[in-house]
Amino acid sequence: MLVAPSLLAADFGNLEREMQWFNQSKADLLHLDVMDGVFVPNISFGFPVLKHVARLCTKPLDVHLMIVEPQKFIREVADLGARYMNVHYEALTHHHRVLQQIREAGMKPAITLCPSTPVELLSDIICDVDMVLLMSVNPGFGGQKFIPQTLEKVKRLRKLITESGSQAVIEIDGGVNMETGRQLAEAGADVLVAGSFVFGSNDPSDRVDALKALS
């Protein structure tokens, strides 16, 4: 299992220290949650903080934009050196165009679905994305309870990916812990985002190891 700890649950007063354990851990990606107070009812952090974190981080960045008009920030996200740029399906009209622009900017295009958005809507763009991120909570806050219907969605998405020949990986975000992580691994998830479960622990590296061991 690939694991992407979410910085949203980190101690922002000690970012250097947080990035120190993170860089030494077995985590695969750093998940960065950008919120604008419009697409979601919360505001997190913006580019000044992202640039600082990008300098401190030695692992690939997975930038999750919970904002309206994410296409306006493709250049800024690319300049961070991000590997994945995750844009919400619900925030876009011209999905195909934006995914292409993300790829042209040198990043892997990723599309995110809110819990109520069916995976079947992706059938005509599934071969244009390198990742599908399924939200397993309503986006906007860390520490929420996992929505169990996500497990069924993962199975339907896995089928869509297999049948289409897409290379997309399946990432899940929200309420991930050992129990939900195990269920998600069984359902077919490839990448688990974990905020409070990892950063809320006295031994975050150990939590990363435990999630990574799921298969």
Place of tokens 């050196």: 81
Q: Are 127 and 137 in contact (CB under 8 A)?
A: no
| Pairwise CA distance, residues 29 & 208, whole Å | 11
Q: Tell the smallest beta-carbon distance from residue 104 to ligand DX5 (Å).
A: 26
Residues near Zn ion (CB under 5 A)? 33, 64, 173
CB of 70 to Zn ion, least distance (A): 13
**Smallest gap from residue 123 Cβ to ligand DX5 (A):** 24
Q: Which is nearer to ligand DX5, 102 or 134 (CB)?
A: 134
- Work out what residue 194 binds among Zn ion, ligand DX5, none; the CB cut-off runs from 5 to 8 Å by kind: ligand DX5
Whole-number Å distance between alpha carbons of 157 and 159? 5
Rg of the Cα trace of the chain? 16
Residue 143 contact partner, candidates ligand DX5, Zn ion, none, CB within 5 to 8 A by sort of partner: ligand DX5
Distance in angstroms (rounded) separating the CA atoms of residues 193 and 181: 10
- The residues pairing with 111 across neighbouring beta strands, listed in sequence order, are 87, 132
206 classed as catalytic: no
Report helix, strand or coil for 109. Answer: strand
| Cβ proximity to ligand DX5, 64 vs 108, nearer residue | 64
Q: Which is nearer to ligand DX5, 3 or 8 (CB)?
A: 8
Residue with tokens 């985590």: 27
Residues of this chain that bind ligand DX5 (CB under 6 A): 6, 8-9, 31, 33, 64, 137, 139-144, 173-176, 193-197
Q: Is 66 helix (H, G, I), strand (E, B) or coil?
A: strand
Give catalytic status of residue 173 as yes or no.
yes
Give me the least distance between CB of 173 and Zn ion, in Å please: 4
Out of 62, 130, 173, 190, pick the active-site residue.
173
How many other C-beta atoms can be found within 10 angstroms of the C-beta atom of residue 106? 11
Select 161 or 211, whichever has its Cβ closest to ligand DX5: 211
Q: Which residue is nearest to Zn ion, using beta carbons?
A: 64
How many angstroms separate the CA atoms of 173 and 27, rounded?
Answer: 15
Catalytic residue among 33, 62, 128, 130: 33
Active site residues: 33, 173
